[in-house]
Amino acid sequence: AESPSAALAAMQAVGTVYADQKPVSANPLSVEDKETWFGLIDLQIRRLQQSAQRERTEDIERAKNVLAEALQGYTEALEMPNGKAAQQRLGQSRLLLRSLIETYGDRPHTNDTVDSAKNLLKTIGTFEKEKVFTQGTEE
Could you report the per-residue pLDDT of 42-56, keeping only the tens digit for each? 999 999 999 999 999
DSSP tag of 26: S
Residue 25 CB-density burial (10 A; 0-12 exposed, 13-18 middle, 19+ buried): exposed
The terminus-to-terminus CA distance of the chain in angstroms comes to 54
Higher per-residue confidence, 56 vs 135: 56
pLDDT at position 23, please? 58
Query: Which of 13-27, 31-45, 49-63, 119-133 is most confident?
Result: 49-63
pLDDT at position 16, please? 82
